[in-house]
Amino acid sequence: MQPTGNLHIGNYLGALKNWVRIQNDYECIFCIVDLHAITQYQEPTELRAKIEEIAALYLAAGIDPKTCSIMVQSAVPAHAELAWMLTCVTPVGWLERMTQYKMKAAKQESVGDGLLQYPVLMAADILLYQAGIVPVGEDQAQHLELTRDIAQRFNSLYGETFVVPGTSLPAVGARIMGLDDPEQKMSKSATGAGHAVALLDPPAKIRKTIMRATTDSNPAVDFAAAGPGVRNLLAIYQAFSGDTDDAMKRQFTDMRYGDLKKQVAEMVVSHLEPFQDRYRRIVSEPGYLAGVLREGAERVAPIANDTVRLTKDRMGLYT
Ligand code: AMP
């Protein structure tokens, strides 16, 4: 995740919750991608503080730093090194087609080169560790597809070097929409007060944001005819509760929207309150986060360095 903005329930349900679920089934590396963050200007003091905040949120969600590695991208220089080598095998046209690039670029007068290169750096993050599976939200599926294309192109030019990774999307919650506008993805960079529920929002604010969510002109839940706002509220509830589709239908069919929102708000608060308690405990321990991040970087650096050596060797660079 990028250490920018405020992490919200979309980030949690689309990615973080899934990470916690799979952490004992795989050898996991969870990266805080600060080099991606600087593709747009970040105030340096804030960026540094955000990096630790994200690390604390990973831990509060239940990532176990004894079994998984949590690390900061810029602490392992191999990320930037591999990104350059991959840049050199990536056609510009592939990058210009990326939806996220087109959306971000459209909002700016002058587009930094880093924004275009963003998915190549992401490919480096993944290929560096020969990752088999990348658990992300749906908005990142296109970047994962590009990562596979880059890996395959490199492998065919220089011989088998990279594992071609798979994508893992959660069954429910892969794309949480804005509560104020269910046609738009819930996003860290959106500024509207009623847009997102941030993971660190106080319960009163969470309730208020959800109670104000946009629905549609029907009076009550009809699963066959529900508009995007109601579908989004149901997805949020189901992703938190883990209920089956049948259980959801039994519970919510014909429920008035006001009651639906109350139930969604209580479900979200009941998960985020203990999460926020854990977060406060973690940040109050002096030196703990810095230690977790240092250990994470030390554990993964040898894997990353081996891949860089192999890549340089394949390309005929000086090793
Ligand atoms: P980012 O906000 O780009 O740092 O994304 C961090 C992770 O959260 C990625 O795996 C995204 O796919 C996921 N994510 C971001 N926004 C959403 C959303 N609205 N719904 C589901 N997953 C999301």
Tokens of 129: 């560790």
Burial (CB count <10 Å: 0-12, 13-18, 19+), residue 264: buried
Cα distance between residue 217 and residue 129, in whole Å: 49
Cα distance between residue 9 and residue 26, in whole Å: 24
Q: 15 CA to middle of ligand 1, Å?
A: 6
Over residues 264-274, mean pLDDT: 98
pLDDT in tens, 25-72: 999 999 999 999 999 999 999 999 999 999 999 999 999 999 999 999
Burial (CB count <10 Å: 0-12, 13-18, 19+), residue 239: buried
Q: At what angle do helices 141-158 and 113-127 cross, to 10 degrees?
A: 70
Q: 172 CA to middle of ligand 1, Å?
A: 13
Closest residue by Cα to atom 15, ligand 1, is: 11
pLDDT attached to residue 192: 86
Whether residue 193 has pLDDT greater than 90 = no
Q: Which of 140, 184, 199 to mutate to test the pocket of ligand 1 (most atoms within 8 A of CB)?
A: 140
Beta carbons within 10 angstroms of residue 66's beta carbon: 6
Helix (H) or strand (E) holding 267: helix 257-283
Over residues 92-111, mean pLDDT: 94
Over residues 260-283, mean pLDDT: 98
Our answer to whether residue 249 is catalytic in this structure is no
55, 285 Cβ separation under 8 angstroms: no
pLDDT attached to residue 38: 97
pLDDT in tens, 60-87: 999 999 999 999 999 999 999 999 999 9
Q: Domains of the chain: which residue ranges?
A: 9-169+285-315, 203-282
Q: 136 CA to middle of ligand 1, Å?
A: 7
Q: Count each helix (H run) and each strand (E run) in the chain, helices first.
A: 14, 4
pTM equals 0.95
Q: Return all residues near 196 (Cβ < 8 A) that are at least 6 apart.
A: 6, 8, 9, 10, 178, 179, 186, 187, 188, 190, 209
Our answer to whether residue 66 is catalytic in this structure is no
Catalytic residue among 188, 208, 262, 312: 188
Tokens of 21: 């679920």
Catalytic residue among 17, 50, 104, 261: 104
Q: Which atom of ligand 1 is nearest to the CA of 11?
A: 8
Cα distance between residue 217 and residue 105, in whole Å: 35
In three-state secondary structure terms, 1 is coil
Cα distance between residue 28 and residue 19, in whole Å: 8
pLDDT attached to residue 319: 85
Pairing mode, if any, of strands 166-168 and 133-135? Answer: parallel
Question: Mean pLDDT over all residues of the chain?
Answer: 97
pLDDT attached to residue 265: 98
Closest residue by Cα to atom 6, ligand 1, is: 1
In three-state secondary structure terms, 185 is strand
Q: Which CATH architecture has domain 9-169+285-315?
A: 3-Layer(aba) Sandwich (3.40)
Cα distance between residue 141 and residue 137, in whole Å: 7
* CA 43 from centre of chain: 21
Q: Would you identify the CATH topology of the domain 203-282?
A: Tyrosyl-Transfer RNA Synthetase (1.10.240)
